Structure 1
Amino acid sequence: MTTHANKKTALVTGANKGIGKAIAAGLARDGFTVFLGARDSEKGHAAAAELKAEGDVRFVLLDVTDSASVQSAREAIESETDRLDVLVNNAGIASAPGSRFKEPAEEIAASMRIVYETNVFAVVAVTNAFMPLLLRSDAGRIVNVTSKRGSIGEEGAWVGRPNMTYSSSKTALNAITAHYARSLSATNIKVNGAAPGHVATDFNGFRGTRTPDKGAEVAIRLAQLGKDGPTGVVFEDDQQLAW
């Protein structure tokens, strides 16, 4: 099954649940062919089937930390479309598997590396793998799902308990977003960060105050920016955040 030439396409990573699933649903409702990326085949297929009522949603197996999986996903998507209009780098983890919260002085570097593999390095790997398809779009959009906790200011690192590993991974992601935006400024691609706010998902034990649909709104908007829209910026809702 291939896409129609005039229909926009999007890839959302980590989209079998939570905010990623809500982003996929919203883009599908807005008429995109959405490739729902997930590393678990059973869960990915189930999520894509559930979202069929929203529009054209297709599961693609994608483990963002596995280079072979990233390449296979790129080949699978390229076999169905000649371009990619939107890449939403949503996949992320809060901590290393089995680890508990640690104060910075107690943190283990190996645990930090595991978080950075998904939240930082995988974003670079996936973005670069799909860059040729994004460059074929008349209005390519890259949206990196980040967090206010990535700020080193009063609204970020100084709020709540100091969560150095997760927060600093999002700080790095914000820097990456800015550098991609700068390097692509002469192209049709815009790169921005979307901070969904405190969303109730299994990511935080469902302690958030927002629904996934509400948290997804900012990413869905940034995915469809017009040609005069911003690039290299992080937003929560319609508010540009200072970093």
Structure 2
Amino acid sequence: MSEQRIALVTGANKGIGYAIAEGLGALGWSIGVGAREERRREAAVERLRAAGVDAYGVPLEVTEEASVAGAARLIEERAGRLDVLVNNAAIAGAMPQQPSQADPAVLRAVVETNVLGAVRVTNAMLPLLRRSAAPRIVNMSSSVGSLTRQSSATTEETVGPVAVAYAPSKTFLNAVTLQYARELAGTGILINAACPGYVATDLNGFRGHRTPAQGAAIAIRLATLPDGGPTGGFFEEGGEVPW
């Protein structure tokens, strides 16, 4: 396509989200930097523009209907369509998260952002995505969302600490991704879940061993899938992740 591609990345002011925005921007795309905090959002936009990226800020709090609707209107007015949505915004929730000690309010808050936030944004953006010639949705998941890996893990290094809010929220997001794929089959909209690996971000106290750019690579690959590519899958850099 000759037209400039349009993407929205949620939680794009830092970490993996910023790296995804930077990577897609390097392809010549126009990038909506979705973030809730104005100062950090605009600082990220400035950094991206300084690197040559066509970036603009999108005020976006994924837990608030009015904010999500406003983001959709902004993109509608600016571009008239959306080619790629990357649902990256997420929170870890208060720790520790031992199930026997967990505050249900923590689980509720994590699911509200990590799962319902993705659903809320996806549904608001679907009319714009349907106008694209090659619409793609990428939901940023994690290996901690793999029930197979969780059930066979022998060390925290493999799938992280026990986390009754965060880990199941990613399992939930994977399941939601699959249901969207079933509904959208035949529409040309490809939707997949991406595992970035153990990336050093503030979400994990920068304990990860991968860089944000390394973590962003799988999202960029899924965002640029050719027509007829996979949908309803769960992927990491090395291939498919077991459910």
TM-score bucket (shorter structure): over 0.9
Mapped contact 1:150–1:157 kept (Cα < 8 A): no
Residue 238 of structure 1 deviates from its aligned partner by 3.8
Partners of 1:65 and 1:81 lie apart in 2 by 24
> Is 1:135 matched up with 2:133?
no
Partners of 1:157 and 1:219 lie apart in 2 by 26
- Percent identical among aligned pairs is 50
Residue 100 of structure 1 deviates from its aligned partner by 2.4
Aligned-residue CA RMSD (Å): 1.5
User: For residues 107 and 157 of structure 1, do their structure 2 counterparts lie closer, same or farther at Cα, with a shift above 3 Å needed?
Assistant: farther
1:33 partner amino acid: S
Partners of 1:201 and 1:8 lie apart in 2 by 28
Residue 153 of structure 1 deviates from its aligned partner by 1.4
Of the three residues 11, 16, 23, the one matched with 2:13 is 16
Partners of 1:156 and 1:22 lie apart in 2 by 31
Partner of 2:120: 125
Partner of 2:87: 89
**1:17-73 CA deviation, whole Å, 9 max, x = no partner?**
000000000000011100000100111001011001232011111111111110111
Corresponding residue SS for 1:164: coil
Partners of 2:119 and 2:31 lie apart in 1 by 21
Mapped contact 2:97–2:165 kept (Cα < 8 A): no
Within a 5 Å distance, the mapping from 1:1-243 to structure 2 comes to 6-52=3-49, 53-95=51-93, 99-154=94-149, 158=153, 159-160=155-156, 161-243=161-243
1:72 partner amino acid: G
**1:112-142 CA deviation, whole Å, 9 max, x = no partner?**
0000000001111000000000011111000
**1:136-188 CA deviation, whole Å, 9 max, x = no partner?**
11110000000000011135674523212100000000000001011101101
Partners of 2:99 and 2:162 lie apart in 1 by 7
Residue 222 of structure 1 deviates from its aligned partner by 0.2
Mapped contact 1:143–1:191 kept (Cα < 8 A): yes
Task: With the length of structure 2 as denominator, give the TM-score of the two structures.
Answer: 0.94
Mapped contact 1:137–1:188 kept (Cα < 8 A): no
- Give unmatched runs, 5+ long, in structure 2: none
Partners of 1:69 and 1:156 lie apart in 2 by 38
Mapped contact 2:7–2:83 kept (Cα < 8 A): yes
User: For residues 139 and 234 of structure 1, do their structure 2 counterparts lie closer, same or farther at Cα, with a shift above 3 Å needed?
Assistant: same
Partners of 1:75 and 1:67 lie apart in 2 by 12
Partners of 1:20 and 1:156 lie apart in 2 by 28
Mapped contact 1:36–1:59 kept (Cα < 8 A): yes
Partners of 2:15 and 2:151 lie apart in 1 by 22
Number of aligned residue pairs: 237
Corresponding residue SS for 1:21: helix
Task: With the length of structure 1 as denominator, give the TM-score of the two structures.
Answer: 0.94
